[in-house]
Amino acid sequence: MAARAGFSVNTFARYVALARAKRIIVKTHARSDPALIKRLERIGHNLNQLTRYSHCSGQVPSQIHELCAHIHDIVHRDIEEINL
């Protein structure tokens, strides 16, 4: 909990010991973007459809490597934006 609050364990313990309040509320900021989560869900759904098609037909679409590289770029870019 100390790390989530942005304190060292000692500092957090001192704060808890000296606080007169019965509760200590640690506010955190969500680092996930709902739009990003939705986009990743759609990408996952599309990949599952391609996988199902490949297993049923025995054929792998010729553009699959290009598509996977593009998906990798999108996901990597979105993760970098979250970590900024």
pLDDT of residue 29: 58
d(CA 16, CA 10): 10
pLDDT of residue 1: 65
Q: How confident is the model over 6-61, as pLDDT tens digits?
A: 778 888 777 777 776 566 666 665 666 778 778 888 888 888 888 888 899 998 88
For residue 84, pLDDT over 70 is answered with no
Q: What secondary structure letter does DSSP report for 59?
A: -
pLDDT of residue 21: 56
pLDDT of residue 2: 67
Q: Pick the closest to residue 37 from 81, 1, 72, 78 (CA basis).
A: 78
pLDDT of residue 66: 84
Output the six-digit token pair for 84.
């900024």
